[in-house]
C-alpha cells in the first residue's frame, strides 16, 4: 500500500524532488514517479500522440523511483493506475524551483497540474514551490530543506485528518529565505497575468520564452494584500492557499443574465 505518491515538473532527478522525498519518507511508504526531464509551464497536459516510456531508475542517493518520458500528469496517471496497486492517501507535487502564485501561474504550472489531476480523482493533494530571489538563482539541496520540512508537516496533517470539505488541494509557496520564524499565511489566489512572455529572436519569425518576466508587455501584477502573490513577493511570508476544483460560476447570476433583453 502506497501512502504518498511524489511527483513534480522539474524532473525526477531535481534537487527539490530529492529533498521532499527525504522528508516525506518518515510519514509512510512512498512512490516516486516524475518526468524524465523538466516539464515546466505545461499545466495539465497529457501526451496524446507519442508513446510514453516508463522506466525504473535510482535517484542520486540510490532510492528506487520511476521516470516517465512525458508530462507531470502522465507521470501521475501512470503512478496511480499502473505502478501503485491501490490509490495512495496523498499526492504531493514538487518542490518546484519558482513561485506558483496567482491564477495565471497556477493554471500554467506543471507542478500544480499534477496535483490537480490527483484532486480530480478524489485524492487529497498538495503542490509545493520555492520562491527564489531572482530568476537566475542557482539552487542547492540545502535551499529545499526547510520548505520540504514545512511540506512534511502539512502532509502529516492531511494524512491524519484529510482535507476540509470543499477543499481539494493545497498550494504552498515558500520564500527561499524562510525560517521557522517566518509567518505562514492562509491566502486567496491573486488575479494577475504575465503578459507576452515571448521575445523576438534575431529572425523575425521566431520567438523565445522571456527571461525578464517582470517587464513583459501587457503584464498585470496588481498584487492585492491577502493574496498568495502579495504574501510571498511583497511580505516575504509563506503562503498556503486552499483550492477547490469546482469551477462552476454563479448559476443564479448567469440565469438572470440570460433573461436580459438584447
Here the cell at position 3 is 501512502
- Residue 198 in domain: no
Would strands 125-131 and 90-97 be described as parallel, antiparallel, or unpaired?
Answer: parallel
Domains held by the chain: number = 1
Q: Which of 65, 68, 76 is nearest to 35 (CA)?
A: 68
- Residue 203 in domain: no
- Residue 95 in domain: yes
Q: Is the dihedral of CA 117, 123, 124, 127 positive or negative?
A: negative
- Residue 245 in domain: yes
- Residue 214 in domain: no
Which CATH number goes with the domain that contains 184? 3.40.1210.10
Percent of the chain at pLDDT > 90 equals 88
- Residue 55 in domain: yes
* Segments forming the whole domain that contains residue 108: 4-193+220-258
- Residue 54 in domain: yes
Here the cell at position 69 is 518520458
pLDDT digits (tens, 9 = 90+) for 159-178: 999 999 999 999 999 999 99
Residue whose cell numbers read 501584477: 221
User: pLDDT per position in the chain (262 positions), as tens?
Assistant: 899 999 999 999 999 999 999 999 999 999 999 999 999 999 999 999 999 999 999 998 999 999 999 999 999 999 999 999 999 999 999 999 999 999 999 999 999 999 999 999 999 999 999 999 887 899 999 999 999 999 999 999 999 999 999 999 999 999 999 999 999 999 999 999 999 989 888 877 899 988 777 778 998 998 999 999 999 999 999 999 999 999 999 999 999 999 999 8
Quickly count: other Cβ atoms within 10 Å of residue 164's Cβ.
7
Alpha helices in the chain (DSSP H): 15-24, 72-78, 103-108, 110-121, 145-161, 228-229, 251-258
**How far apart, in Å, do the first and last CA atoms of the chain sit?**
58
Give the angle 241-244-249 at the CA atoms, nearest 5°: 120
Here the cell at position 18 is 530529492
- Residue 213 in domain: no
**Burial of residue 229, with CB atoms counted within 10 A of its CB: 0-12 exposed, 13-18 middle, 19 or more buried:** buried
Amino acid at each position: 500500500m502506497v501512502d504518498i505518491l511524489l511527483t513534480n515538473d522539474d524532473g525526477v532527478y531535481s534537487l527539490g524532488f530529492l529533498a521532499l522525498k527525504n522528508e516525506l519518507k518518515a510519514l509512510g511508504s512512498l512512490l516516486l514517479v516524475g518526468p524524465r526531464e523538466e516539464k515546466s509551464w505545461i499545466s495539465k497536459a497529457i501526451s496524446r500522440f507519442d508513446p510514453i516510456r516508463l522506466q525504473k531508475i535510482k535517484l542520486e542517493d540510490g532510492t528506487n523511483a520511476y521516470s516517465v518520458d512525458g508530462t507531470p500528469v502522465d507521470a501521475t496517471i501512470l503512478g496511480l493506475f499502473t505502478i501503485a496497486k491501490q490509490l495512495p492517501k496523498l499526492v504531493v507535487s514538487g518542490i518546484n524551483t519558482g513561485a506558483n502564485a496567482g491564477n495565471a501561474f497556477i493554471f500554467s504550472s506543471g507542478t500544480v497540474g499534477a496535483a490537480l489531476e490527483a484532486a480530480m480523482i478524489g485524492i487529497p493533494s498538495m503542490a509545493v514551490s520555492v520562491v527564489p530571489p531572482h530568476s537566475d538563482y542557482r539552487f542547492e539541496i540545502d535551499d529545499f530543506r526547510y520548505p520540504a520540512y514545512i511540506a512534511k508537516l502539512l502532509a502529516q496533517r492531511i494524512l491524519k485528518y484529510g482535507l476540509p470539505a470543499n477543499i481539494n488541494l493545497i498550494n504552498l509557496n515558500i520564500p527561499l529565505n524562510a525560517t521557522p520564524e517566518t509567518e505562514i499565511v492562509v491566502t486567496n489566489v491573486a488575479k494577475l497575468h504575465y503578459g507576452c512572455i515571448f521575445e523576438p529572436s534575431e529572425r523575425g519569425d521566431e520567438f523565445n520564452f522571456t527571461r525578464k518576466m517582470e517587464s513583459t508587455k501587457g503584464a498585470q501584477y496588481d498584487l492585492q494584500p491577502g493574496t498568495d502573490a502579495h504574501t510571498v513577493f511583497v511580505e516575504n511570508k509563506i503562503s498556503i492557499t486552499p483550492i477547490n476544483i469546482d469551477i462552476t460560476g454563479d448559476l443564479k447570476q448567469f440565469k438572470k443574465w440570460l433573461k436580459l433583453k438584447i
